[in-house]
């Protein structure tokens, strides 16, 4: 098999890159280790920046998003028994975020690739990049007991943190930066009405909570738990009791509870690999960086990588100019580090760090009090939350 761009990973980053390239007349093949059903069963966050929404619209993948997505013009910060509203739209000159599950974005991207005859090979085992140091890259994989090969001009690794893409870089060519946090998020999905029309980020002495949603009848809630927490210890009743205890009374009193559909614990960490390419092998999304979910940047940061990488590839195929590809890592990392900083700041501001004691919590409350009372501080937060320009 021969194509122009070989893509490792059939998640939203790989699918979006393939869709953008297809619309620009560039062929690609996606190799995905898991089945399609498995990919579509993964529950992920769903707060989309304006930039990602615009990208999906530009390649005709936003029909259902525009019909069913929840446009949010603001976000709430809860602390010290009160709830303060951040007017995202007013502070950023009209920018908003849209709540639409990542699983749904992935489903729509799959449908778009199917409609356009895109090639996605599922259950491709032992995917291995070759020749990316020179001008003859290729990918090999196994499927149905047979070995296969894809010859291509470039390889895009959109295969996540544990994927083969970054691991294929020669030893000593990547510098890694990492910070781990001493807690995780216990999250549940329930068929209940959201407690508020917009998200609520809450700082409390018992720990952080987030009240989010997928729709007007599907809610997503999270509570901070120790990194070593066992999900078996958390019944639905215990979760709802803990959530209520960490919310202001005005919110807790109207909280609707119900059986959980899904329950999981996610660890929190920050990670960046530099550079994001070696020769003709490029990293995008979680293959090159991880952010704690506090700033809602994971999927959005993957989309900005795809933006820069697709620009470089389109420029190369249209004019032969490699400038965009050569500058991809530098341009993408500049935005990545800003998103890493914002996600780290939100995490440090909203979570309970027991080792910091009462002094640390008082400082958090003072910063939240200042933030919600200062137009300049609210504007800085709003600009980062809706997404910095590409």
- b/e string for 279-309 if b means 16 or more Cβ within 10 A? bbbbbbbbbbbbbbbbbbbbbbbbbbbbbbb
What pTM, to 2 d.p., does this model score?
0.94
- Tell me the mean pLDDT in the region 207-230: 94
| CB proximity list for 364: less than 8 A, separation 6 or greater | 79, 203, 349, 350
Domain ranges of the chain: 5-47+101-177+270-346
Percent of the chain with pLDDT over 90: 95
In this predicted structure, what is the pLDDT of residue 72?
96
pLDDT digits (tens, 9 = 90+) for 334-362: 999 999 999 999 999 999 998 899 999 99
Query: Looking at per-residue confidence, does 44 or 299 come out higher?
Result: 299
Name the CATH superfamily, with its identifier, for domain 5-47+101-177+270-346: FAD/NAD(P)-binding domain (3.50.50.60)
- The pLDDT of residue 45 is above 90: no
pLDDT digits (tens, 9 = 90+) for 54-88: 999 999 999 999 999 999 999 999 999 999 999 99
Mean residue pLDDT of the chain comes to 96
In this predicted structure, what is the pLDDT of residue 305?
98
Q: Given the structure tokens 């919600």, which residue do they identify? A: 372
Percent of the chain with pLDDT over 70: 99
Instruction: Report, as residue numbers or ranges, the catalytic residues.
Output: 72, 201, 293, 297, 385
pLDDT digits (tens, 9 = 90+) for 282-292: 999 999 999 99
Tell me the C-alpha distance between 164 and 149, whole Å: 16
In this predicted structure, what is the pLDDT of residue 215?
85
In this predicted structure, what is the pLDDT of residue 255?
97
- The pLDDT of residue 214 is above 90: no
- Tell me the mean pLDDT in the region 324-339: 98
pLDDT digits (tens, 9 = 90+) for 301-312: 999 999 999 999
């Amino acid at each position: 098999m021969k194509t122009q761009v070989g893509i490792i990973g059939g998640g939203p980053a790989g699918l979006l890159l393939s869709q953008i390239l297809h619309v620009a007349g560039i062929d690609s093949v996606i190799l995905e280790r898991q089945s399609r059903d498995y990919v579509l069963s993964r529950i992920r966050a769903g707060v989309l920046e304006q930039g990602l929404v615009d990208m999906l619209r530009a390649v005709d993948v936003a029909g259902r998003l525009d019909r069913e997505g929840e446009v949010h013009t603001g976000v709430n910060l809860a602390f010290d028994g009160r709830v303060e509203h951040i007017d995202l739209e007013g502070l950023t000159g009209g920018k908003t975020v849209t709540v639409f599950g990542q699983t749904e974005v992935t489903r729509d991207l799959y449908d778009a690739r199917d409609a356009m005859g895109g090639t996605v090979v599922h259950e491709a085992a032992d995917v291995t990049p070759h020749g990316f140091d020179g001008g003859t890259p290729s990918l090999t994989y196994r499927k149905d007991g047979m070995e296969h090969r894809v010859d291509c001009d470039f390889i895009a690794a959109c295969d996540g943190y544990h994927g083969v893409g970054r691991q294929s870089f020669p030893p000593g060519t990547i510098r890694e930066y990492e910070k781990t946090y001493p807690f995780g998020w216990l999250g549940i999905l329930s068929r209940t009405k959201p407690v508020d029309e917009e998200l609520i980020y809450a700082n409390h002495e018992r720990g952080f909570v987030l009240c989010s949603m997928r729709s007007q009848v599907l809610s997503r809630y999270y509570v901070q738990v120790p990194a070593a927490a066992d999900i078996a210890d958390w019944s639905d009743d215990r979760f709802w009791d803990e959530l209520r205890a960490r919310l202001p009374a005005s919110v807790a009193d109207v909280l609707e509870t119900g059986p959980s559909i899904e329950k999981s614990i996610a660890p929190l960490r920050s990670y960046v690999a530099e550079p994001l390419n070696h020769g003709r092998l490029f990293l995008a999304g979680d293959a090159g960086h991880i952010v704690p979910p506090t700033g809602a940047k994971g999927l959005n940061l993957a989309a900005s990588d795809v933006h820069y990488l697709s620009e470089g590839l389109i420029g190369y195929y249209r004019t032969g100019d490699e400038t965009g590809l050569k500058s991809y890592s530098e341009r993408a990392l500049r935005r990545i580090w800003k998103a890493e900083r914002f996600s780290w700041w939100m995490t440090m501001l909203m979570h309970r760090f027991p080792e910091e004691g009462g002094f640390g919590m008082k400082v958090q409350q003072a910063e939240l009090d200042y933030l919600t009372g200062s137009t300049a501080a609210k504007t800085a937060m709003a600009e980062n939350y809706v997404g910095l320009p590409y």
